[in-house]
Amino acid sequence: MESLLPKLFLAPLLVVMSTLAGRRWGPDVTGILVAFPIVAGPILFITYQQHGAKFASDAASSSLLGLVSLATFAVLFARTARRFGWLTTLAASWAAVLAMDAALSVIQVAMLVALALTLVATAAAMALMPTIESERSGESERRAWPVWELPARATATGVLVLVVTTASSAMGPHWTGLLAPFPIATSVVAAFVHAQYGPAVTARTLSGAVMGLFSFAAFCVSVAVLLRPIGGAAFVLGAAVAVAVQLVAAHARGRLRMRSSNE
């Protein structure tokens, strides 16, 4: 029962908190927050509790490859959302992620190679994201938030986390790591945003998510390197490193936007 509680409540709670922050500060912030390891972190932590440091460390290293699939999801969802509704867009994006994960499952590379692949994929995703069109007046506030939205997001997140962590023993560390960054929170948020506010706000949200992949990668590397020597404290340090990296990335992004607007 004790191990079941974090599966059902930790990740959903973080998704709800990111949703509330997004309502307060907008879709850019929502995207950045859902790209933090708010789902993968709990998955890896539960995996550590269930299977030990070596299993979880190997899974964290494999999670770097999973970020390649997450970058693919962000680009495909943002582009497909311009022509199709949320359900078709989500189905196509998930199919692409699963196909990418299947291809990556046969690859066994060193952690630094996986990190390099992640950084290249993130840079490519930033270049391939659709141009963020100006929102029509009131688009981001088009609908009142339905009362069922937060419970639905939390429930969807909890179910998916429960499936991955329960199946981890059968899958092994490589597949567990690949699926840990599966766009659980990002899918839930992107689908709701697309359904309620349209493709322009969706593109803004997912652009923020792509920027968040740098901090996600930093978290995975920190956990993979530190988990065996220091145990569970690696997750705390990994989260701190992720926040620091994201602050640097956000500052750099702001300066680039300012320079672009001045030109």
Over the stretch 54-95, which tens digit does the pLDDT of each residue have?
Answer: 999 999 999 999 999 999 999 999 999 999 999 999 999 999
- Contact between residue 178 and residue 99 where contact means Cβ atoms under 8 Å apart: no
Residue 172, Cβ neighbours under 10 Å: how many?
Answer: 15
For the chain, domain boundaries? 4-262
- What the block records as the tokens of 36 is 């933090």
In this prediction, residue 1 has a pLDDT band, given cuts at 50, 70 and 90, of very low
- What the block records as the tokens of 250 is 């956000």
pTM, rounded to two decimals = 0.84
Whose tokens are 């702001």? That residue is 254
N- to C-terminal Cα separation, the chain: 58
Over the stretch 20-30, which tens digit does the pLDDT of each residue have?
Answer: 877 777 766 77
Nearest alpha-carbon partner for 208 in 24, 31, 15, 26 = 31
Asked if residue 138 has pLDDT above 50, the reply is: no
Lowest mean pLDDT among 119-133, 153-167, 206-220: 153-167
Q: Residue 111 has what pLDDT? A: 93
| DSSP tag of 131 | P
Region 161-189 average pLDDT = 82
Q: Residue 208 has what pLDDT? A: 84
